[in-house]
Amino acid sequence: MAAGLAGCGLALAGGRRAQARQTQARQPQARQTVTLVVGAAAGSGADQHARAFVPFLERHLPHANLTVENLPGEAGLAALRRLADAQGDGSVLGWVATPALPARAVDTVGAGALLKRLVLVGAMQQEPLVFTAAPPDAPASIGAVLRRTVADGAARALGTPPAGSPAHLTALQLQAQAGMRLNIVAFPSAAAARQAALDGTLGAAVLGLGDVLAALRVDELAGFALAAPGQDMAEPGGMPPVVHAPGLALSAAVHRGLAVPASAGAALVERLQAALRAVVADPECHDQAAADGFLPRYLDGPDWRALASGQRAALARLWLATPWRGTGIG
């Protein structure tokens, strides 16, 4: 009898444990609060691209609740320091872009060491750069841009966003490639450069596709887009003709994606990469891309690091000839 009662007790205890496991399995897993650090002001183009990405990452990164933290100081370096100092547990992610990221390693003392404390997970946005002006005076080729903006007595301005931005670096690279001085004017913002192009006061402006897509679609602006090296570019509605310019491969397109602190483990990086691939495959992400002026293209971390490394070397050479910021290592 004692043995029977003991066996009954063990059976009941086992049943209670099994029931507890089933109850626990049915309970929703707690969501982790994840901060996405953006090195740009709220409302800026970079911030808007990041915020458009957040709902898709939440959809494909289970149990994550994302919030955006804007840290625009020091041309984005404040955000990179915040990311590098964070724990590698996935609670803090960084929204970064190239070639702006390697540019900071060139034009700012100590930034190279800072970048070694970060891991590029992968990019999922590719934004072409566009040379544009108000029709019917819009340029149709690199040669047309050079002819109208070469710095002589009759030169018109080649407008860009602020110094050190991807579009501004492309203008400087064009100048170096052509071996002639261009009348490059860096505006305080992409919106200011776009407005000058709309007013017809520029020979041309070079801007991200997202900055000009709405004006292109209603024929207020026209021009051509630069193709990223080695890529066929699916064209969102309203995108201008694509020109392949191998000499401008440094910053023919902006890549945006995620970075984590170097202390992050391989498991976290792989989980984020899987989420990014799922985002790029999401049909609604493609709809968002067409509306915002970027191409949903996944670029794996190692490939992105190799691209950034090449950009950094090219930017270092460009910096020696034409420093693009008033302060730095020059």
CATH superfamily of the domain spanning 128-251: Periplasmic binding protein-like II (3.40.190.10)
What pLDDT shows up at residue 247? Answer: 63
Domain span(s) for CATH 3.40.190.150 in the chain: 32-127+254-321
Domain span(s) for CATH 3.40.190.10 in the chain: 128-251
| Integer Cα distance of 36 and 54 in angstroms | 8
Q: Per CATH, the architecture of 32-127+254-321 is what? A: 3-Layer(aba) Sandwich (3.40)
Structure token pair of residue 44: 């800026």
Q: What is the mean pLDDT of the chain?
A: 86
pTM: 0.85
Secondary structure letter of residue 201 according to DSSP:
-
The 10s digit of each residue's pLDDT in 137-168 is: 899 999 999 999 987 766 799 999 999 999 99
**Positive or negative, the Cα torsion across 26, 27, 28, 30?**
negative
How far is C-alpha 50 from the chain's CA centre? 8
The 10s digit of each residue's pLDDT in 205-260 is: 999 999 999 999 999 999 998 876 555 555 566 678 887 766 665 567 899 999 99
Local confidence band at 25 (pLDDT 50, 70, 90 cut-offs): very low
Instruction: Assess whether pLDDT exceeds 80 at residue 22.
Output: no
126-151 burial: b if 16+ Cβ within 10 Å, else e: bbbbbbbbbeeebbeebebbbebbbe
Closest CA to 298 of 133, 108, 60, 105: 60
What pLDDT shows up at residue 233? Answer: 56
